[in-house]
């Protein structure tokens, strides 16, 4: 099981990884209602290096940036679910709108985002910090048909049409 770390531990993690000559991969997101699209994405991210660190956005950030009704699962539960995945090595909760501070603290070799971003990730606020740390940005293909929004819509449609007996 992965370890949930405070962001302040990231420089120490980086130092240990450097000493062990490990490639560090960082990604981040909300990971609300963990689904197969998330797990496929995280497995692909992990395949890019030796350690996968997953930043998970705070509840207030999700409400502000996604929808006032989100997240469905609170931060501690989302972090616990991510930490239970075999492909994840570390989970780091954070409260900012972007992961720039995580990038600056960890200095990942690879920063990964999903295919809902343009190739090269030029519009990512984290991209300059990744480049300054000597890392690279990788955009993984989007998993069509797999989203938390889609799951919520399916549940609402099915249970409005025919409530459970």
Instruction: Render pLDDT for 20-33 as a digit per residue (tens, 0 to 9).
Output: 999 999 999 999 98
pLDDT in tens, 77-91: 999 999 999 999 999
**Ranges 35-44, 80-89, 136-145: which has the least confidence:** 136-145
Q: How many independent structural domains does the chain possess?
A: 1
The average pLDDT across 53-60 equals 97
Residues in contact with 77: Cβ distance below 8 Å, sequence separation at least 6, in sequence order: none
Q: What is the CA radius of gyration of the chain?
A: 16
Query: 105 is in which domain, residue-wise?
Result: 3-161
116 pLDDT higher than 90 = no
State the pTM of this model.
0.91
User: In Å, how far are 2, 8, 14, 91, 154 from 23, measured between CA atoms?
Assistant: 17, 20, 10, 16, 39
Say which CATH number the domain at 28 has.
3.40.50.620
Pick the closest to residue 114 from 15, 51, 38, 12 (CA basis).
Answer: 38
């Amino acid at each position: 099981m992965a370890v949930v770390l405070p962001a302040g531990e990231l420089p120490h993690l980086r130092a240990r990884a450097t000493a062990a000559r490990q490639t560090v991969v960082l990604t981040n997101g909300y990971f609300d209602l963990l689904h197969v699209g998330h797990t496929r994405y995280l497995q692909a991210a992990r395949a890019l290096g030796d350690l996968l660190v997953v930043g998970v956005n705070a509840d207030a950030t999700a409400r502000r940036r996604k929808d006032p009704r989100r997240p469905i699962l609170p931060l501690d539960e989302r972090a616990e679910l991510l930490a239970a995945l075999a492909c994840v090595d570390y989970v780091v909760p954070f409260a900012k709108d972007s992961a720039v501070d995580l990038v600056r603290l960890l200095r990942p070799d690879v920063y990964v985002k999903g295919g809902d971003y343009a190739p090269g990730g030029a519009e990512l606020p984290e991209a300059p910090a990744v480049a300054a740390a000597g890392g690279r940005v990788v955009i993984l293909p989007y998993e069509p048909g797999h989203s938390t929004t889609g799951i919520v819509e399916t549940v609402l449609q099915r249970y409005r049409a025919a409530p459970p007996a």
